[in-house]
Structure 1
Amino acid sequence: MKTSDLLVKALENEGVRYIYGIPGEENLDLLESLRTSSIELILTRHEQAAGFMAATYGRLTGEPGVCLSTLGPGATNLVTAAAYAQLGGMPMIMIGGQKPIRTSKQGRFQIVDVVNLMKPVTKYSRQVVDGYHMPSMIREAFRVSMDERPGAAYIELPEDIAEEESSATVFDVVGHRRPDASEQSIDLAVEMIRKAQAPLVLIGAGANRKRTAESLRALMDCTGLYFFDTQMGKGVVDERHPQYIGTAALSDNDYLHSAIERADLIINVGHDDIEKPPFYMHKGGRQVIHINFDAANIDEVYFPQLNVVGDISNSVNRLADKLGRLPQEFDFFARVRDEVDSHLTRYFNDTRFPILPQALVSLLRDHLDAEDIVTLDNGIYKIWFARNYECHAPNTLLLDNALATMGAGLASAMTAKQLNPDRKVVSVNGDGGFLMNCQELETAVRMGLDLVVIILTDKAYGMIKWKQEGIGFENFGLDFNNPDFVQFANSFGATGHRAESHADFVDILEAALAGKGVHVIDLPVDYSMNHAILNKLLKESAAID
């Protein structure tokens, strides 16, 4: 069969259901092979969005999402999405086209060395030079992409290789069990936890990837340990748990940092050093147990005293079995939890308009079920969602605290809805980030998705403006104008709405969540209280004793 047919057979063999992307003339043989396959091609309007969609597929399923581009500018448009998947620990396969490599028809026209370009932002980047190698390359790309730590892989298929005949056959998909931690490391961890006066659990992004919710919940219930999470670790354990303290959305000076400062031992489960560190280590200070699939990377702020290396869920289960109910008193952590609960709800019922981000968080939480999904683009509102939005299940608040790119919020929501048609999905975007990939509204409408898209409008790059103001610089270079988002949405076949008051937004939100199709809501937002809230937070959190 043709190498392009062989590629499709290999993808089917890996269980691929969708390919997101934009084909070019260099992909035409592959496109023809896909036409008669079981794989559905989701045609997007920009390669970057295709990459974001594929990465989100990997994030939600644990299996690589697949995206497609042509050569040159199509492939370079995937670079940001590759970094998004690579830093975020999301398995993803990118397939790119290329001019013929045996004979040149057009000199260097459109030719970029994409294979080497992709190497710094992928785990695997190869060009197919002979159809015979295609099956092994696909199997290896999938294996590498899924292996801890997950990430992106790139395969380039030149035009002439795609059309040549090959007698190769696909490889069997062979999984493997991750090794368990040694008994000695488990016993050392038990000893350290028992000796600590104030041990505290941190749940990171790595724990969210491997669905360790049941094991971690059992650990908290069995031992009485209190816990907090990182932004990408949110929801691994239901945040309604009585021992949950909060999310490390700020680098310091938050209520939960009072608990971190009091802790003499951090049990760090699923640490991912791509995320901003929620605490810094100092020599002679608190001790850290690192529980993960791999040993910790050592740097100036993170150098654990113990590595428990192996399958996370297995390690946590064994710790719970050996520890039992701990004798330590956790009264201080309980007080911090109560202060956090009191603070987070302070602006939930505020009805001023433009809306406060905290009030938006409250409204969405009240209108969504435990398994419904909110996806975020990147902006200042992400801090308030990370701090204030109570996650009841894993991967129900999809935010990016790794690459932290703008433009991914809508695309990630589209995949989330595609994979979870029975759940409500809401995409929250700033007006800056939304306009970076707004053309995908057409894709969402064409896919027949029932989706709610909220655009928080302040006509500025609000996060940078907030930082600029905090430093004391003059307002400069960050303001812009917007199109009429209602007409814009309607022109794509979506339904546009503009909220004129807090009560008006509530009515629109309820109707949009209950309705069919894509609903786009223009919602003015008020960020003017950010500094006041955070300054007050600094004083109040420092006073906890």
Structure 2
Amino acid sequence: MAKVDGGRLFAKALKKEGVEQIFVLSGGHIMSLFYGCRAEGIKVIDFRHECAAAYAADAYARVTGKPGVLVTTAGPGITDTITAMAEAKLQGVPMIHIGGASPVKENDTGPLQDMNTLEILSTCTKWARKIYDIERIPEYVSMAFRHAMDATPGPVYLECAMDIMVLSFTEEDEVYYPEKYRTEALPFGDPNLIEKAADLLVAAKSPAIVLGDTSRFSAQYGEAIAELVDYLKIPVMSQTMPRGLFADEEKNPLFKLGAGAMPAADVVMMLCVNNDYRVGKARPPLFNKDAKLIQVHPDVTKIGYNAPAEVGIVGGAGPVAKQILEAVKAKTSKKEDLTWVNKAQEMGKKAAAPWVEGFTAESSPMTPGRCAYEVGKFLNTEGKDWTVVCDGGDAAQWIKNAVSARRPGQVINYGPLGTIGTGAGFTLGAWAANGKPVLYYTGDGSFGFYSMEFDTFVKQGVPVVCVISNDSSWGMIKLSETFIHPEEVAKGHVANELAHMRRYDKMTEMWGGYGQLVTKPEDIVPAIKRGFESGKPAIINVEVDKESMSPITKGFGAPFLKKK
């Protein structure tokens, strides 16, 4: 009988789960797992920083709907990933993080990279365990996938000491490979509550739907959501992760109408929404104070969170939408009256006016909004199949509002943690998921976090064009401070300014790629095309106005203006 080590057992277990690639950074404690993956035909994609590798695993999950797998070495290799793991936890993104550890036989003797990383990771994952027996590796891998992909998905952590990882044994000896150990079904809602929700929607004069990030992994019966929207002509507001999943935004404009219309909606169905600051906590002024909320979420603790639930249903977005659709059809015919839709369109235009002003402004340097608008022109025409990674503070707000999502995971942005610098890792993870070109849009501050991952892009052959909206500052903080602490800003900015128009585009000279400094709006699209045609990772460095800000950034300062 052939002998295998712990690393090979990990690889076999991952392969049984359908894992095709893992995201890693080299380290002595985990090399046997890499060798095992090579032997099992699992691609090993290595990075320059563990946190970027973790962001890649995150983006892979967002695009595919399947867990991304991250492998890091002991000690600092694990602690380097903390921010990315926290980002995934708050977003509800399924990830499997496998971490190395110092040998068990050297416990409490001060070996290399020895620390209680299990306790640390337990704070930013939904489940964390350490493996002490080699024969149980497949069993623990199955547990990890079960927890990562349950009704409330999220990141999990498995730790394995080096002496367990390299230990060899005869494979057939007491190894249990779990089979059929988890369900892929999501919960349906209570029938009585379904009827109440259907009654509210049918009676509503101005209904709306909010799609929360968690609905990205609640896609079973997802077609029912699009059908319900069309049946009752309901405007939809969507957070980033589910964009393009339930409908092509370009073909179904109802899926982009909801945000502006929310203040007038009398009934709002919230599908897998965590009522945090991004949706105004489901309170005025974003929401109508008299609106009746139908809250649907697989996590019972999210029902009634921050806002009262007229009807609270524990269940998955797709399954519950299917039930409600069936109940609605039994109560009323398909709605043809477009009065509310037309009003929603007008409200949407009014709400979008500040964005349109930024998109179309004529100035020199151009506004950040104009930069995003020109990039959006390309993405909404010739680049329709590209993935769009939105990084940066103010920069991300502009670009995600300038593009449409036509498929799941086409538009990727950080979540409620507000983690800038995610873009490089997100870019590689998105590409690894489907092989499609990536437009990596970022601010100059955020670009600096993991810019050496361009070396990884070259190594892996990633077709990426990076557009830097360069305002030579940490723009979102710098500009919001003009509202929050005007008396201090009058004395000069502190720790908010960067070198003026640093030539990041010249970095491409290291790998023979295309780089260009752009100062005119009309030069942006041609520069993107040249960058892509170069066949190597490209950087388009765009000079933008230092004082122009998005409506979101202005919103940060609004409460302080009112107080004064």
The TM-score normalised by the length of structure 1 is 0.89
The partner residue of 1:287 within 292, 309, 312 is: 292
- The 8 Å contact of residues 66 and 93 in structure 1, kept in 2 or not, is answered as yes
| Whole-angstrom CA distance in 1 between matches of 2:518 and 2:453 | 22
1:401 counterpart residue number = 415
User: 1:247 deviation in Å?
Assistant: 6.7
User: 1:4 deviation in Å?
Assistant: 1.9
- The 8 Å contact of residues 351 and 502 in structure 1, kept in 2 or not, is answered as no
Q: 1:181 to 1:228 in 2, by over 3 A?
A: same
Task: Select between 332-341 and 439-448 the one with higher mean Cα deviation.
Answer: 332-341
1:504 counterpart letter in structure 2:
D
- The 8 Å contact of residues 378 and 525 in structure 2, kept in 1 or not, is answered as no
User: 1:498 deviation in Å?
Assistant: 1.3
User: 1:42 deviation in Å?
Assistant: 0.8
Task: Select between 349-358 and 262-271 the one with higher mean Cα deviation.
Answer: 349-358
Q: 1:343 to 1:221 in 2, by over 3 A?
A: farther
1:543 counterpart residue number = none
2:313 counterpart residue number = 308
| Whole-angstrom CA distance in 1 between matches of 2:524 and 2:394 | 20
1:239 and 2:246 correspond = no
The partner residue of 1:172 within 164, 167, 179 is: 179
- The 8 Å contact of residues 151 and 187 in structure 2, kept in 1 or not, is answered as no
The partner residue of 1:480 within 498, 513, 528 is: 498
User: 1:493 deviation in Å?
Assistant: 4.3
User: 1:107 deviation in Å?
Assistant: 2.0
1:450 and 2:463 correspond = yes
| Whole-angstrom CA distance in 1 between matches of 2:394 and 2:110 | 47
- The 8 Å contact of residues 180 and 310 in structure 1, kept in 2 or not, is answered as yes
- State the percentage of identical aligned residues: 24
- Matches for 1:144-163 after TM superposition, within 5 Å: 144-163=147-166
1:4 counterpart residue number = 7
1:270 and 2:272 correspond = yes
- The 8 Å contact of residues 126 and 156 in structure 1, kept in 2 or not, is answered as yes
| Whole-angstrom CA distance in 2 between matches of 1:361 and 1:390 | 13
1:434 counterpart residue number = 447
> How big is the alpha-carbon RMSD for the aligned residues of Structure 1 and Structure 2?
2.8
Query: Size of the alignment, in residue pairs?
Result: 528
User: 1:464 deviation in Å?
Assistant: 0.8
Task: Select between 362-371 and 150-159 the one with higher mean Cα deviation.
Answer: 362-371
1:542 counterpart residue number = none
| Whole-angstrom CA distance in 1 between matches of 2:553 and 2:81 | 37
What is the SS of the residue equivalent to 2:280?
coil
- Matches for 1:94-133 after TM superposition, within 5 Å: 94-103=97-106, 107-133=110-136
1:198 counterpart residue number = 206
Which structure 1 residue ranges, 5 or more long, are not aligned? 249-255, 540-545
CA deviation map 1:436-457 (0-9, x unaligned) = 1011000000001111011221
Q: 1:262 to 1:111 in 2, by over 3 A?
A: same
User: 1:488 deviation in Å?
Assistant: 1.8
- The 8 Å contact of residues 297 and 303 in structure 2, kept in 1 or not, is answered as no
2:316 counterpart letter in structure 1:
D
The partner residue of 2:508 within 465, 489, 504 is: 489
- Matches for 1:71-86 after TM superposition, within 5 Å: 71-86=74-89
- The 8 Å contact of residues 407 and 435 in structure 1, kept in 2 or not, is answered as yes
1:221 counterpart letter in structure 2:
D
| Whole-angstrom CA distance in 2 between matches of 1:34 and 1:243 | 45
- The 8 Å contact of residues 371 and 521 in structure 2, kept in 1 or not, is answered as no
Q: 1:374 to 1:245 in 2, by over 3 A?
A: closer
1:383 counterpart residue number = 397
| Whole-angstrom CA distance in 1 between matches of 2:525 and 2:431 | 22
What is the SS of the residue equivalent to 1:36?
helix
What is the SS of the residue equivalent to 1:239?
coil
Q: 1:436 to 1:201 in 2, by over 3 A?
A: same
2:481 counterpart letter in structure 1:
Q
The partner residue of 2:94 within 86, 91, 103 is: 91
Task: Select between 121-130 and 370-379 the one with higher mean Cα deviation.
Answer: 370-379
2:225 counterpart residue number = 216
- The 8 Å contact of residues 22 and 44 in structure 2, kept in 1 or not, is answered as yes
1:253 counterpart residue number = none
| Whole-angstrom CA distance in 2 between matches of 1:533 and 1:170 | 50
| Whole-angstrom CA distance in 2 between matches of 1:403 and 1:392 | 26
| Whole-angstrom CA distance in 1 between matches of 2:132 and 2:213 | 37
What is the SS of the residue equivalent to 2:97?
strand
| Whole-angstrom CA distance in 2 between matches of 1:84 and 1:299 | 23
The TM-score normalised by the length of structure 2 is 0.86
| Whole-angstrom CA distance in 2 between matches of 1:133 and 1:112 | 23
What is the SS of the residue equivalent to 2:194?
helix
Q: 1:231 to 1:26 in 2, by over 3 A?
A: closer
| Whole-angstrom CA distance in 2 between matches of 1:96 and 1:114 | 9
2:376 counterpart residue number = 365
User: 1:41 deviation in Å?
Assistant: 1.0
| Whole-angstrom CA distance in 2 between matches of 1:35 and 1:78 | 24
Which structure 2 residue ranges, 5 or more long, are not aligned? 559-564
- The 8 Å contact of residues 90 and 417 in structure 2, kept in 1 or not, is answered as yes
What is the SS of the residue equivalent to 2:45?
strand
Q: 1:192 to 1:134 in 2, by over 3 A?
A: same
- The 8 Å contact of residues 260 and 279 in structure 1, kept in 2 or not, is answered as no
User: 1:133 deviation in Å?
Assistant: 1.9
The partner residue of 2:194 within 150, 174, 186 is: 186
What is the SS of the residue equivalent to 2:122?
helix
